[in-house]
A and B are shown apart, each in its own frame.
Chain A
Amino acid sequence: EAAVTQSPRSKVAVTGGKVTLSCHQTNNHDYMYWYRQDTGHGLRLIHYSYVADSTEKGDIPDGYKASRPSQENFSLILELASLSQTAVYFCASSDVRVNTEVFFGKGTRLTVV
């Protein structure tokens, strides 16, 4: 099974501060994704990437940047964290050359105070 590792697993950030969430996958998947989960909204796609050094906007990209420096690593960056960005964030990957099954990391609980 695909291994997707997120760090940190939880974080408390100050409003206006910079936050970086990291994701690492070890299965040579081409696609990587960042989702956030909020009560009442389910999981929503923030950014995704299908190749290193390139990222694409998902459904809710405002207030977030993404970076994919290598095939294995995908980061989510909050330049100016806000209270509304308190949520659980999930990283995921898939290998569309095989099929489109998506594998998720364990999530990062971010609290902005």
Chain B
Amino acid sequence: GQQVQQSPASLVLQEGENAELQCNFSTSLNSMQWFYQRPEGSLVSLFYNPSGTKQSGRLTSTTVIKERRSSLHISSSQITDSGTYLCAMELWNYAQGLTFGLGTRVSVFP
């Protein structure tokens, strides 16, 4: 089964609405990252978040490693937030790289 579960799979927002994206991990992890994948495909690192809460502009990430979960909050969504948001976990053997979820596709309309 999928080790990294993201929900919802897709989300439609009206500009200005807030959104909460969830990421749950089925195994113990060392750390995790949130990425934004632009519609043209490139990946942008949003947060490297071993634990706790981090904020960058309108984005807030909260990770509770012991509970194997993380969330990404988008406040006052904008059209430019449209794209896919991916979370990924790193196991304790970091040499194995990241294990990704399937993503949440976000569409923001005026």
Contacts and interface: CB of A to CB of B under 8 A. Distances in A.
Contacts of B103: 42
B86 A100 contact: no
A107 B90 contact: no
Q: Is the interface on chain B under 10, 10 to 19, 20 to 34, or 35 or more residues?
A: 20 to 34
A58 interface: yes
Interface in B69-98: 86, 88, 90, 94-98
B101 A42 contact: yes
Contacts, number: 59
B31 A100 contact: yes
Nearest to B35: A104
A112 interface: no
Given A42-B100, A48-B95, A106 B42 contact: yes
Nearest to A90: B43
Contact of B97 (A33, A40, A99, A107): A33
A45 interface: yes
